[in-house]
A = this chain, B = another copy of it.
Amino acid sequence: MTTAAAPADFQKKFKYHHGNLRDALLSAATHILETKGIDGLSLRGLAKATGVTQAAPYSHFRDKDELLAAVAETGFQRLALQMAEDATGAAGTRQRIEKLVSSYIRFAVNNKPMFQLMFGRELSNLKKYPTLAMTAGKSYALISAALSKRAAGEGRQDARFLTVAIWSLCHGLTTLIVEEKLDPAGFGAGSTSEFVEKTVEIFAAQLG
């Protein structure tokens, strides 16, 4: 009975026993994450929202971290996808970089809690989840690839460090905005996206 789905009753979309509770949990977790924020996502609340008991999730995830890792992975997939889409049709290395960075930041602003989860402290045991690490690397690979052509002529080592620099700028600007440590409004820019564009532009200009 896959009805058109009232907003948040994930339980009805899945069979009771021996259904795909795992997917239901991930789906509900993502929904709670986006609505209540990262601190509003508890295993007990998640279980209740999915229509099962508080201990049920432990049949599918060893602990909360493993659940969060699975949720974060879907986030990384979406991020990489969006970045790839937004950068298609970019003319030249510089414009491609600009578009990639802009896309990254837009994702973070539009999916704040998800971004906090993806790059927050809770998943710093990232190595424990090899799948996660690989998925997380895709975005980085996009920037790296965009630079690789240009760097063919120059030193390869320099290209790697330049990638790191751009990646750092991108990530740093994003976190500062998301965690509200930097207020775009204070810079005479109308919108956040305008502010981002200008900063990235000026930075990219230095790269020639």
Contact = CB atoms under 8 A, between A and B. Distances in A.
* Chain multiplicity (copies): 2
Q: From DSSP, what is the main secondary structure of chain A's interface residues?
A: helix
B136 A179 contact: no
A165 interface: yes
Contacts of A198: 161
A36 to B, nearest CB: 14
Interface in A66-110: none
Given A121-B38, A124-B180, A202 B161 contact: yes
Contact of A181 (B126, B161, B179): B126
A83 B153 CA distance: 37
Interface in A164-182: 164-165, 167-176, 179-182
A44 interface: no
Nearest to A136: B181
